[in-house]
Amino acid sequence: MPGCSEAGEYRAPKSRTSLNEYHWFCLEHVRAYNAGWDFYKGMSPAEVEAQLRADTSWQRPTWPIGSLGHTAWSEEELKDPLNILGAARMKNRERPDPQRPPAELKAPLETLGLSWPTTLDVVKSRYKELAKRHHPDANGGSRDAEERLKTINLAYAAVRTKLSTEPRMAAAG
C-alpha cells in the first residue's frame, strides 16, 4: 500500500478472474483488503448460481455415465458381486403390462372374483358383497364360513393396499 513501511508478507488475489495473481500486503492492510473483498460483486444472480454449481464439482465438468460416446460397461468391467447394478437394470427393463395384474395380486383378485384392471370402488363393493354372504352370523356360525371370510379379508387388504399406494393402478379400469 502506498505509504506503508511494513513488509508485504501476505498475499491477496487481484480479482476473481485472476485468482493466481496477487497483491502483497502487510497484515493490517491484507485484513482491510479482505474485509472489502466480495468475490460475487458485479455478478448477476444467474452467474452466482452458475458459479456455486460449478464449485460443487471443483470446476470440473460432469455428465451421466454412458454419455459422451461411451457405451454401457460390460458385466466383466463392473465388479458387482452382490448384483446391485444388475438388479437395477432388470427393474428398469421390466415395465408392467397394465392389462395383467401384478404377481402379488393374482391370488387375491381370484379370491375376490375380480379381473384386472380394476378400481378401488369396484373392490370395495365386491368385498362388502362377499363379507355379507360369508359372514359366520349369516351362516349359522359355520367354521367354514369364518375361514372363508378370513381369506376374503386378507385378499381385500392386499388389493386395497396396492391400489391405494399406486395411484396409476387405482385409476386403471
Distance CA 152, CA 126 (A): 10
Distance CA 108, CA 58 (A): 54
pLDDT in tens, 45-59: 999 998 888 888 888
Select from 1.20.960.40, 1.10.287.110, 2.40.50.140, 2.40.110.10 the CATH code of 103-171.
1.10.287.110
3-state secondary structure (DSSP) of residue 147: helix
pLDDT in tens, 62-113: 776 666 555 566 656 667 777 776 666 665 555 666 677 788 888 888 888 8
CATH code 1.10.287.110 region(s) in the chain: 103-171
DSSP result, 72-127: PPPTTTS--TT-HHHHHHHHHH-PPPTTS--GGGHHHHHHHT--SS--HHHHHHHH
Burial label, 13 (beta-carbon count in 10 A; 0-12, 13-18, 19+): middle
Give 38's Cβ-side CA count (13 Å radius): 6
